Structure 1
Amino acid sequence: MTEADILSALSNVQEPDLGKDIVTLNMVKDIVIDGDNVSFTVVLTTPACPLKDMIQTACVNAVKLLVSKQAVVKVNFTSNTNTNRKDAGQVLPGVKNIIAVVSGKGGVGKSTVAANLALALAQGGASVGLMDADIYGPSVPIMFGVRGERPFMKEVDGKGKIVPLERFGIKLMSIGLLVDEKNAVVWRGPMVSSAIRQFVTDVEWGNLDYLVVDMPPGTGDIHLTMMQTVPVTGVIIVTTPQDVALADAKKGIAMFAQAQLKVPVIGLVENMSYFTPAELPGNKYYIFGKEGGKRLADEYDLTFLGQIPIVQSIREGGDKGIPAMMGDEPVSRKAFEDFAAIAIRHIAILNSHVAASRPAEMAV
């Protein structure tokens, strides 16, 4: 066996999302051959890659079928998270992808979706931060059980920086960690915009594969400030199946298509899709209507990222500071895992398309 033999065999293994083989994509590294033993490293587009097992099986089969049946194949994995950012040296230089989670109206579970998306990515091996940009109604302190805790400051290059709290393996920042929860944040637009900019420039986020931003509901100042301050990789729209929520979700979709923003929509996720009682996990009761989010995604030619059911444990976990991804209730946990897996695949596809459309010298 030679290295050329191995590369030739692996050129038949497709990266399912990007549509090319892993050799062409330069994903194969460090081939070592010792008799019948072969090892190599596959560089994934994200540590949270949901297709890792599929790629591993395809690699082993390719070597055994096309090179040697006696080969003992060991596939190692590492990751180099894709990014479409061309300004990596300017704003949040250590953050590869910024994902904004938005909704057209309040009460659709946007913060729950953002929190569990961040946790699902972290559990997949990615380094993740969660920024609570909902200045008037911050949820992160309660949902992560850090009420009353305060971040501390440190000096970086002669400038004071806020160090995010860490919980469940992700970095957290929220106005709720800086202001007493009994006090209302009564700020005009310019003050809110200034606070959002500080969350970007004055917080020591460090190196992250993904920064998930929990945006406030609606389409206002904070959205404009965030989209114009940082290069957002894409947005995830959260809605419920009912017509009232869908009408507002349409406004959110329209906002990000405007020329002055032009932020890609990663996809749409439908929350509170149906009620499943704990004692009857196979039953589905469509309280707010059926598949409204899927119809909306089809109407706007968006990726439908999945359905999240109404499960009592999701609400209880959020109130207790233990989100669904950290609990042991299987229905809600699987729903969030499936949603995160689809979202992360489409982020990788989005990044590859953006990189391919740039001149070679600009590609990151």
Structure 2
Amino acid sequence: MQRIPARLPGTASEQAGKADACAGCPNQQLCATAPKGPDPDIAVIRDRLATVRRKILVLSGKGGVGNSTFTGQLAFSPAAVPDHALQVGVVDVDICGPSIPRVMGVEGERVHQAMTGWQPVYADDNLAVMSVGFLLRESADAVIWRGPKKNGLIKQFLKDVDWGELDYLLVDTPPGTSDEHLSLVQYLRDAGVDGALVVTTPQEVALADVRKELNFCKKVGLRVLGVAENMAGFVCPNCKGASEIFPATSGGARRMADEFGVPFLGSVPLDPLIGKSCDHGESFVEKYPESPASTAFMAIVQALREQIERT
């Protein structure tokens, strides 16, 4: 097996694809012919998002922890506060698994082009949504794309969508620390991204991957606004009694947050009505305000706001 050279010129270098260290790399031709220098679209994205006050990435290193569910209900929560009338946007960059349209109750809608750019779909007067799900012919169609095409669509969502004036823009991301995440950090570099909310569940099999997500944030210089623990126990919708479903054998999200020196925002119990609300595209906190999970969601929203303001 050929050893990978230790010193590579980098994709933005004039020597990319031409240096001796590039010999044998499968991407040599691509690097040699790609445009060099700063990406001009980064400035376009900065200008487009200038009217968005706060930009937050919602990350999870593990699939199945409820990242999209959490993003959707978080978006509903501040948008539902009547005293504040906050304008909220959700951009779904989970290209291969776009579940945000269903979670937000706008499945089957289509994107429209206007003079000012793509128009987001509105789940409510103050809740805008953009997803690849709006571009598919059928909701069950598979998105079989390689990295460059996915990254190109993410860039379009940021620079070509007319988001207007927003208080919050939440970015729902797929699991992992791959192309989509690196592209987001790069594209939002000059737009003033506020940081990341990291979602996990209590069991160690999830925490092990979420630790990688926290390390990713550290390496790319992305501030961690806090860790939120999802499915922390089960709440019976009838008796309101709670029981543990996913044991926190290693101390759960709170201990992990302490290890990394990042804020722990709170825990949301597993309530079957959350899944029902997502299937029907409803705001769980509005429909079931008496649920302990609704109280937990709103507490996390408040804790997240407090962390954002500490800049």
TM-score (norm 2): 0.80
Deviations 1:164-204 (A, max 9, x none): 01113300001001112121000000000000000001100
Poorly superposed stretches of 4+, deviation over 4 Å: 86-89
8 Å contact from structure 2 (residues 56, 193) kept in 1: yes
Deviations 1:280-318 (A, max 9, x none): 21x221110135011111111111110011001001110
Matched, 1:286 2:247: no
Q: Residue 272 of structure 1 corresponds to which residue in structure 2?
A: 231
Q: Residue 132 of structure 2 corresponds to which residue in structure 1?
A: 175
Q: Which amino acid aligns with 1:99?
A: I
Q: Residue 339 of structure 1 corresponds to which residue in structure 2?
A: 300
**SS of residue in 1 equivalent to 2:228:** strand
Which of 109, 112, 121 aligns to 1:165? It is 121
8 Å contact from structure 2 (residues 44, 159) kept in 1: no
Q: Residue 310 of structure 1 corresponds to which residue in structure 2?
A: 270
Q: Residue 87 of structure 2 corresponds to which residue in structure 1?
A: 127
Q: Distance in 2 between matches of 1:296 and 1:304?
A: 9
Q: Distance in 2 between matches of 1:312 and 1:89?
A: 40
Q: Distance in 2 between matches of 1:90 and 1:321?
A: 32
Q: Distance in 2 between matches of 1:88 and 1:312?
A: 39
Structure 1 position 92, deviation (Å): 1.1
Q: Residue 301 of structure 1 corresponds to which residue in structure 2?
A: 261
Structure 1 position 140, deviation (Å): 1.3
Q: Residue 59 of structure 2 corresponds to which residue in structure 1?
A: 102
Q: Residue 155 of structure 2 corresponds to which residue in structure 1?
A: 197
8 Å contact from structure 1 (residues 88, 94) kept in 2: no
8 Å contact from structure 1 (residues 327, 333) kept in 2: no
Which of 82, 105, 111 aligns to 2:68? It is 111
Structure 1 position 321, deviation (Å): 1.2
Which of 315, 323, 326 aligns to 2:283? It is 323
8 Å contact from structure 2 (residues 232, 246) kept in 1: yes
Are residues 87 and 163 of structure 1, via their aligned partners in 2, closer, same or farther at CA, if it must alter by over 3 Å?
A: closer
Task: Return the structure number with greater strand share.
Answer: 1
Q: Residue 348 of structure 1 corresponds to which residue in structure 2?
A: 309
Q: How many residues align?
A: 258
Are residues 232 and 120 of structure 1, via their aligned partners in 2, closer, same or farther at CA, if it must alter by over 3 Å?
A: same
**SS of residue in 2 equivalent to 1:90:** helix
If you compute each CA radius of gyration, which structure gives the higher value, 1 or 2?
A: 1
Q: Which amino acid aligns with 2:71?
A: A
Matched, 1:147 2:107: yes
**SS of residue in 2 equivalent to 1:93:** helix
8 Å contact from structure 2 (residues 80, 286) kept in 1: no
8 Å contact from structure 1 (residues 142, 319) kept in 2: yes
8 Å contact from structure 1 (residues 138, 176) kept in 2: yes
Matched, 1:239 2:200: yes
Deviations 1:252-283 (A, max 9, x none): 0000111xx201000000000000111221x2
Q: Which amino acid aligns with 1:277?
A: C
Give ranges in structure 2 of 5+ residues lacking alignment.
1-42
Q: Distance in 2 between matches of 1:137 and 1:87?
A: 27
Q: Distance in 1 between matches of 2:73 and 2:278?
A: 10
Q: Distance in 2 between matches of 1:228 and 1:248?
A: 22
Q: Which amino acid aligns with 1:184?
A: A
8 Å contact from structure 2 (residues 77, 283) kept in 1: no
Identity of aligned residues (%): 38
**SS of residue in 2 equivalent to 1:317:** helix
Structure 1 position 209, deviation (Å): 1.2
Q: Which amino acid aligns with 1:102?
A: L
TM-score (norm 1): 0.68
**SS of residue in 1 equivalent to 2:211:** helix
Q: Distance in 1 between matches of 2:45 and 2:51?
A: 7
Q: Distance in 2 between matches of 1:220 and 1:150?
A: 28
Deviations 1:310-334 (A, max 9, x none): 0010011101111312312522221
Q: Distance in 1 between matches of 2:103 and 2:66?
A: 12
Q: Which amino acid aligns with 2:157?
A: F
Matched, 1:209 2:170: no
TM-align CA RMSD: 1.7
Q: Distance in 2 between matches of 1:280 and 1:224?
A: 45
Q: Which amino acid aligns with 2:270?
A: I
Structure 1 position 123, deviation (Å): 2.5
Give ranges in structure 1 of 5+ residues lacking alignment.
1-85, 352-364
